[in-house]
Amino acid sequence: MNLKITMFDVTLVSDNLTGRLPIEMSNLTSIRFINISSNLFTGELEAFDVYNNNFSRRLPVEFAKLKNLKILYFGGLQQNELSGRIPASLSRVSTLRQLLIGYSNSYEGGIPPEFDSLKSLQLLDLSSCNLTGEVSASLGNLKMLHTLFLQINSLTGEIPPELSGLVSLMSLGLSHNNLTGRIPEAFSELKNLTLLNLFCNRLAGPLPPFIGDLPNLEVLKIWGNLATN
């Protein structure tokens, strides 16, 4: 007999529990509250993945206390509905390598400029989560970043040339925003770029000649702009 249990609240406080947290806890897809404080668990939490669940309200600021966290996935194509501002305190988790907290969430405001201190970050995906304001020029300080996805938001202003400082960048997605101006000439420095998606913005001007000189570029999408020949 297969017995399916739906659990919303797990409280295991001061039970002298030891060992590591069981991997099977990832099957608790309906969980809303977990409290395992005052036990003797071992190990360090390095990944927190709740992609495609039904979480709502705000992204907890307490994640900033997880000093060994490397992966935080809080997105989802249809399910999660987080709101409020993206906590700037996440910038204190210096070990973060992958941060995916977009998709179906609906935040207030833009990208915290403090994120430029996430020096170990390799993937930043804030797609489709109601971001406003300008693309933060300080993101150009993330030298380890290979993927930056900010598409399907309401970002405005020009693409900051400072993003050319992303020397490891391979994939850049800025499509479906309200970006204006031209493709920065400084992007000629993005020698590792394989994918550049800028379609459905309000970019103008001719296609820069350096685009044809990017040695690894495989995908270029710029339709739906105001570009001229």
Q: What is the pLDDT of residues 104-141, one digit of tens each?
A: 677 788 898 999 999 999 999 999 888 999 999 999 99
Say whether both 169 and 147 belong to one domain.
yes
CA atoms of 182 and 219, how far apart (whole Å): 19
Do 176 and 152 touch, CB atoms closer than 8 A? yes
Query: Which pLDDT score, from 0 to 100, does residue 2 have?
Result: 42
pLDDT(103) > 50: yes
Q: What mean pLDDT is predicted for residues 25-51?
A: 50
Taken as a whole, the chain contains a residue count of: 229
**Domain extent for 21:** 1-43
DSSP label at 25?
G
Q: Does residue 142 share a domain with residue 209?
A: yes
**91 and 37 share a domain?**
no
96 and 9 belong to one structural domain: no
More confident residue, 211 or 53: 211
State pLDDT tens for residues 57-90. Answer: 555 556 667 778 888 776 554 554 566 788 888 8
Which residues, in sequence order, are CB contacts of 213 under 8 Å at separation 6+?
188
Residue 177, pLDDT > 90, answer: yes
With 50 as the cut, is the pLDDT of residue 43 above it? no
CA distance 64 to 4: 34
Provide the residue type at 224 as one letter.
G
For the chain, what is the domain count?
2
Query: Are residues 109 and 120 located together in one domain of the fold?
Result: yes
How deeply is 149 buried, as exposed, middle or buried, from its count of CB atoms within 10 A (0-12, 13-18, 19+)? buried
Residue 85: its pLDDT value, please? 83
One domain for residues 37 and 120 = no
Same domain, 217 and 191: yes
173 membership: H or E segment, kind and range = strand 171-173
CATH of the domain at 208: 3.80.10.10
Residue 80 is encoded by which pair of tokens? Answer: 């999660």
109 and 140: one domain?
yes
Whole-number mean pLDDT of the chain?
A: 78
User: Distance (Å, rounded) from C-alpha 140 to C-alpha 159?
Assistant: 11
Taking the C-alpha atoms of residue 131 and residue 6, their distance in angstroms, rounded to an integer, is: 33
Residue 127 CA to chain centroid, in angstroms?
A: 7
Same domain, 153 and 198: yes
